Structure 1
Amino acid sequence: MKNQIISLFVLALCLSIGTVEAQSKAIDGTLLAPTPPMGWMTWNYFADNINEKDIREMADAMVSSGMLKAGYNHVFIDDGWQGGRDNKNNIIADPVKFPSGIKALADYVHSKGLKLGIYSDAAPLTCAGYTASLNFEEQDAKTFASWDVDYLKYDYCGAPDDMEVAKSRYKKMADALRKSGRDISFGICEWGDRKPWLWAGQVGGQLWRTTADVRDKWKSLTPVKKQSELHGTGAGILDIVDYSQDHASYAGPGHWNDMDMLVVGLYGKKGPSGDLGGVGCTDTEYQSQMSIWSILNSPLAATNDVRKMNAETKRILLNEEVIAINQDALGKQAVCKIKNDLWSVFVRPLANGDFAIAILNRSEATQNSKINFAELGLNGNFEIRDLWEHKVIAKGKKWNGKVKSHETKMFRLKKI
Structure 2
Amino acid sequence: MRKLFLLFFFGLSVASASGQQQKDLAPTPPMGWMTWNFFADNIHEKDIREMADAMVALGMVEAGYNYIFIDDGWQGGRDNRNNMIPDPAKFPSGIKALADYVHSKGMKLGIYSDAAPLTCAGYTASLGFEEQDAKTFASWGIDYLKYDYCHAPKDSATAVARYTKMGEALRKSGREIVYGVCEWGQLKPWHWAAEAGGQLWRTTYDVRDKWKNLGDQENAEGIIDILDINADLHAYAGPGRWNDADMLVVGLYGKPGPSGDMGGVGMTDTEYQSQMSLWSIMASPLIATNDVRNMNEATRRILLNKEVIAVNQDPLGKQAERKINDGTWNVFVKALENGDYAVAILNRADKTQNYSIDWSALGLGGRYEVRDLWEHKTAGKGKGWKGRVQSHETKLFRLRKI
TM range (shorter): over 0.9
1:377 and 1:218, CA in 2 relative to 1: closer, same or farther beyond 3 A?
Answer: same
CA contact (8 A) 1:19 1:202 kept: no
- SS of 1:242's equivalent? helix
Cα RMSD of the aligned pairs, angstroms, is: 1.4
CA contact (8 A) 2:331 2:345 kept: yes
TM-score, length-scaled by structure 1: 0.92
Give 1:25 shift.
4.1
Q: Distance in 2 between matches of 1:57 and 1:72?
A: 15
Residue aligning to 2:133: 140
Q: Does residue 374 of the first structure (1) align with residue 367 of the second (2)?
A: no
Q: Distance in 2 between matches of 1:47 and 1:21?
A: 40
1:395 and 1:304, CA in 2 relative to 1: closer, same or farther beyond 3 A?
Answer: same
Give 1:340 shift.
1.3
Q: Does residue 222 of the first structure (1) align with residue 222 of the second (2)?
A: no
Give 1:166 shift.
0.5
Q: Does residue 191 of the first structure (1) align with residue 184 of the second (2)?
A: yes
- Read off the aligned partner of 2:32 and give its amino acid letter: G
- Read off the aligned partner of 2:257 and give its amino acid letter: G
Residue aligning to 2:336: 350
- SS of 1:219's equivalent? coil
Q: Does residue 60 of the first structure (1) align with residue 53 of the second (2)?
A: yes
Q: Does residue 341 of the first structure (1) align with residue 327 of the second (2)?
A: yes
Q: Which one of the candidate residues 152, 167, 175 is aligned to 2:168?
A: 175
- SS of 1:348's equivalent? strand
- SS of 1:57's equivalent? helix
Q: Distance in 2 between matches of 1:259 and 1:20?
A: 28
Q: What per-residue deviation string (whole Å, max 9, x for no partner) do you get for residues 232-253 of structure 1?
A: 2410001000011111111000
Q: Distance in 1 between matches of 2:302 and 2:19?
A: 30
Residues 193-212 of structure 1 mapped to structure 2, 5 A cutoff: 193-212=186-205
Q: Does residue 363 of the first structure (1) align with residue 349 of the second (2)?
A: yes
Residue aligning to 2:234: 248
Q: Distance in 2 between matches of 1:335 and 1:20?
A: 28
Q: Distance in 2 between matches of 1:189 and 1:86?
A: 26
Residues 291-302 of structure 1 mapped to structure 2, 5 A cutoff: 291-302=277-288
- SS of 2:356's equivalent? strand
1:375 and 1:116, CA in 2 relative to 1: closer, same or farther beyond 3 A?
Answer: same
Give 1:202 shift.
1.1
Q: Distance in 2 between matches of 1:281 and 1:403?
A: 17
Give 1:355 shift.
0.2
1:23 and 1:169, CA in 2 relative to 1: closer, same or farther beyond 3 A?
Answer: farther
Q: Distance in 2 between matches of 1:378 and 1:163?
A: 40
Identity %: 71
CA contact (8 A) 2:72 2:120 kept: yes
Give 1:205 shift.
0.4
Give 1:165 shift.
0.7
Residue aligning to 1:10: none
1:325 and 1:84, CA in 2 relative to 1: closer, same or farther beyond 3 A?
Answer: same
CA contact (8 A) 1:20 1:204 kept: no
- SS of 2:379's equivalent? strand
1:79 and 1:245, CA in 2 relative to 1: closer, same or farther beyond 3 A?
Answer: same
CA contact (8 A) 2:26 2:240 kept: yes
Which blocks of at least 5 consecutive residues in structure 2 are unaligned? 1-11
Give 1:411 shift.
0.1
Q: Which one of the candidate residues 317, 320, 334 is aligned to 1:331?
A: 317
1:186 and 1:18, CA in 2 relative to 1: closer, same or farther beyond 3 A?
Answer: farther
Residue aligning to 1:70: 63
- SS of 1:202's equivalent? coil
Q: Distance in 2 between matches of 1:264 and 1:21?
A: 38
- SS of 2:48's equivalent? helix
Residue aligning to 1:118: 111
CA contact (8 A) 1:35 1:254 kept: yes
Give 1:22 shift.
4.6
Q: What per-residue deviation string (whole Å, max 9, x for no partner) do you get for residues 136-179 of structure 1?
A: 00000000000000000000000011111101000000000000
1:120 and 1:20, CA in 2 relative to 1: closer, same or farther beyond 3 A?
Answer: farther
Q: Does residue 100 of the first structure (1) align with residue 85 of the second (2)?
A: no
Q: Distance in 2 between matches of 1:313 and 1:284?
A: 11
- Read off the aligned partner of 2:130 and give its amino acid letter: E
- SS of 2:274's equivalent? helix
- Number of residue pairs the alignment of both structures matches: 391
Give 1:21 shift.
6.2
- Read off the aligned partner of 1:151 and give its amino acid letter: Y
Q: Distance in 1 between matches of 2:329 and 2:114?
A: 38
Q: Which one of the candidate residues 287, 294, 305 is aligned to 1:308?
A: 294
Residue aligning to 1:32: 25
